[in-house]
């Protein structure tokens, strides 16, 4: 097995999801190392999680629609919790039975949308 090499935020954003298996599940140490590239995200209850705050419902829904576009293209769907001015996002990879690189790719792309 090749040792895990964390990717930068830029490298994650430029990457694309692929089919994962249980062999692609990242260890807790690998997750902790890769989280360094994703400000605001944490590993909790088997998923990468982050909340995003907005000024109003219009901004909230614009964000949800923007991330829905790339999520559909990557075919890697998160758990979303949507309220008036907050969106909770949780990524994990069911086929890997845990967190995989796909989760980090989509988390980085979500950060990029929020920052733009």
Instruction: Quote the CATH superfamily of domain 9-14+24-115.
Output: Transcriptional coactivator/pterin dehydratase (3.30.1360.20)
Whole-number Å distance between alpha carbons of 65 and 51: 16
The pLDDT value given to residue 2 = 63
Residue-range domain boundaries for the chain: 9-14+24-115
Which of 42, 53, 49, 37 lies closest to 114 in space, CA to CA? 53
The pLDDT value given to residue 68 = 97
What is the average pLDDT score of the chain? 96
pLDDT exceeds cutoff 90 at 3: no
What six digits make up the tokens of 101? 């690189």
User: What secondary structure letter does DSSP report for 96?
Assistant: G
- Residues 62-82 pLDDT 10s: 999 999 999 999 999 999 999
Q: How confident is the model at residue 116 (pLDDT cuts 50, 70, 90)?
A: low
Give the whole-number percent of the chain exceeding pLDDT 70: 97
The pLDDT value given to residue 55 = 98
- Residues 21-61 pLDDT 10s: 999 999 999 999 999 999 999 999 999 999 999 999 999 99
Distances from the Cα of 104 to the Cαs of 24, 34, 58, 68, 83, in angstroms? Answer: 13, 8, 27, 16, 24
Whole-number Å distance between alpha carbons of 55 and 76: 27
């Amino acid at each position: 097995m090749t040792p895990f090499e964390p990717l930068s935020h830029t490298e994650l954003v430029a990457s694309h999801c692929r089919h994962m298996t249980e062999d692609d599940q990242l260890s807790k140490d690998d997750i902790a190392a890769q989280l360094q590239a994703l400000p605001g995200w944490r590993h909790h209850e088997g998923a990468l999680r982050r909340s995003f705050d907005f000024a109003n419902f219009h901004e909230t829904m614009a964000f949800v629609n923007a991330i829905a576009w790339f999520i559909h293209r990557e075919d890697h769907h998160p758990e979303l919790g949507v309220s008036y001015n907050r969106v909770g996002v949780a990524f994990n990879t069911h086929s890997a039975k845990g967190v995989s690189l796909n989760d980090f790719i989509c988390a980085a792309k979500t950060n990029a949308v929020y920052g733009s």
